[in-house]
Amino acid sequence: MLTATKENSTNTVESGEELTDGFHLVIDALKANDIDTIFGLVGIPITDLARLAQAEGMRFIGFRHEQHAGNAAAIAGYMTQKPGICLTVSAPGFLNGLTALANATTNCFPMVLISGSSEREIVDLQQGDYEEMDQLNAAKPYVKASYRINKAEDIGIGVARAIRSAVSGRPGGVYLDVPAQLLAQTLTVAEGKKSIFKVVDPIPRQIPGPDAIARAINVLKTSKRPLILLGKGAAYAQADAEIRALIEKSGIPYLPMSMAKGLLPDKHPQCASAARSYVLAEADTVLIIGARLNWLLAHGKGKTWGNNLKRFIQVDISPIEADSNVPIEAPVIGDIGSCVAALLAEIGSVPKPSAEWTGAIEERKEKNIAKMEVTLSANPSPMNFHSALGAIRNVLRTRPEVNLVNEGANTLDFCRAIVDMNQPRKRFDSGTWGIMGIGMGYSIGAAVTSGLPVVAVEGDSAFGFSGMELETVCRYNLPITTIVFNNNGVYRGTDVNPTGGPDVAPTVFVKNARYDKMIEAFGGVGYQVTTPDELTKALTEAIAAGKPALINAVIDETAGTESGRLTNLNPSTAKK
């Protein structure tokens, strides 16, 4: 605590009265709202903020690049429904964090990026301050909300607004600008205390109208081949029991989007993942819960959907999500817990789907699963994506509590299809943008938040975006096992430079790189594996050890497909 010896910035204090300052008030405001962890990277003007957070009993997890601190905060927000907090310096630090904040907004994850900023009067006249930038305006297009706090007495309100904005309604990223001089401003302790408070009901329930529920139930009553589609919004909502009850009571087959896998165990008899193409094409009515009809679902139309317009019911908290891509016959607007509970109360009046529909799905599933097992159990040399993922799947089946982080192209597509999930909110991947670079940030965020092991399944290109954070993983001794699918390049390693010149092709990396040596530099354990058996042994051992490890899994460099399953989005290979 500071002590006033003469007039301070508030000009109200008599000599000897105890003072507090902006640094303390920011920490007090976060703590008052049960925030116990900050992910960030220090420097002027926020180093002392990080020090103080730690001194006041919060965890400060320091990163090597702000984007990964931001990604850690974002995934912590997704896992907990509390905004993940990322702290950065001004201008470049802020911009490095902004990618993560924009990604959080895109994925509907609650997060607050707090960045120090330069003096307003210099920034606004563009007089060339250290790390000068108009950060508030730079953030605006990419966030749900952005605020600047200019007076120490407003810190409580500013933090409250940031928290409420991040978690209420559709969650998203919030930018909070803290000018350097704000942090140094003082108030009396009594004034400071008065200005800090805990946000009441930051995630208010939003109850759907009874007419919307009746409309949705009527659509279901008249459907012949219904399907429920679960998105990561459904996982985020933590309404697991209600969702399970709705699915089981209705008897309707369901399909989880990738981060909704495990909301119900993937082995659930009504899970239609193994017949995905069939159900999307053949369903006549789709009840969407917490998913958007964006590119990941072919915008709700075209060949993926059997070229016919479906009847859609959409449960979402955003009133403007419906009709974004195709007409929605029955929008149900509210929080998923309330909406699903209201649908559950009426679902008894909807006839169970016909045996013809569920039987046809079952038949497809059995055929596809049998085909997949043959592919997974083949043991080619060198190892390919399937044989490696078959081994990982078998190990993770014995450890359902493990968090799985996944990025890459082929590595992402195949892992999503092969590695089943059995608990909710355990799968974290490239998400709505298909972004590369979330690997180590999400892994660290998930490990710190849950205290449970993390396995990151990473393409070698994908891993490169955040690889330096291996030092962070080792520094905090986190139970993270990173598996690099090393096929010598982006998608694969066999492209050649057609000119015969000295540069390698744009997709090619150093051959036979030893990513396992990288973690050894920081005291972690490295493994090099070339067969599924070696991978099984290394992964089992690494998870059991609960310490930082990296497995360099050598994958056939010819095995990958350009852009994985997104070949159709490449301008040169898209089907016209």
Q: Which residues bind ligand TPW (CB under 6 A)?
A: 408-411, 434-437, 459-462, 485, 487, 490-491, 560, 564
Q: How far is the CB of 540 from ligand ADP (least distance, A)?
A: 30
Residue 407 binds to ligand ADP (criterion: CB under 6 A): no
Structure tokens at 245: 């009850």
Residues 175-204 that bind ligand ADP (CB under 6 A): none
Residue whose token pair is 């087959």: 253
Helix axes 92-107, 66-80, angle to 10 degrees: 30
Q: How far is the CB of 451 from ligand TPW (least distance, A)?
A: 28
Q: How far is the CB of 297 from ligand ADP (least distance, A)?
A: 7
Partner whose footprint covers residue 460, from ligand ADP, ligand TPW, none (CB < 5 to 8 Å by kind): ligand TPW
Q: Round to whole Å and give the CA distance between 290 and 273.
A: 17
Residue 454 burial (C-beta neighbours within 10 Å; 0-12, 13-18, 19+): buried
Partner whose footprint covers residue 389, from ligand ADP, ligand TPW, none (CB < 5 to 8 Å by kind): none
Residue 170 binds to ligand ADP (criterion: CB under 6 A): yes
Q: Round to whole Å and give the CA distance between 171 and 432.
A: 14
Q: Round to whole Å and give the CA distance between 386 and 380.
A: 10
Which of 53, 75, 330, 336 contacts ligand ADP by CB under 6 A?
A: 336
Half-sphere exposure of residue 557: CA atoms within 13 angstroms, side-chain side: 14
Q: How far is the CB of 261 from ligand ADP (least distance, A)?
A: 10
Q: How far is the CB of 441 from ligand TPW (least distance, A)?
A: 12
Residue 260 binds to ligand ADP (criterion: CB under 6 A): yes
The secondary element (H helix, E strand) that includes residue 215 is helix 210-221
Structure tokens at 225: 């081949």
Residue 341 binds to ligand ADP (criterion: CB under 6 A): no
Residue 233 binds to ligand ADP (criterion: CB under 6 A): yes
Q: How far from chain centre, in Å, is Cα 144?
A: 16
Residues 272-291 that bind ligand ADP (CB under 6 A): 290-291
Residues 503-562 that bind ligand ADP (CB under 6 A): none
Q: Round to whole Å and give the CA distance between 298 and 284.
A: 16
Residue 207 binds to ligand ADP (criterion: CB under 6 A): no
Partners of 176 in beta bridges: 114, 147
Q: Round to whole Å and give the CA distance between 173 and 86.
A: 11
Partner whose footprint covers residue 453, from ligand ADP, ligand TPW, none (CB < 5 to 8 Å by kind): none
Closer CB to ligand TPW, residue 203 or residue 436?
436
Closer CB to ligand TPW, residue 176 or residue 436?
436
Closer CB to ligand ADP, residue 108 or residue 341?
108
Q: Round to whole Å and give the CA distance between 179 and 100.
A: 21
Residue whose token pair is 């190990």: 395
Dihedral angle at the C-alpha atoms of 492, 295, 358, 237, nearest 10 degrees? 110
Footprint on this chain of ligand ADP (rule: CB under 6 A)? 107-108, 170-171, 231-233, 236-237, 257, 259-260, 290-292, 294, 296, 316-318, 321, 335-336, 432
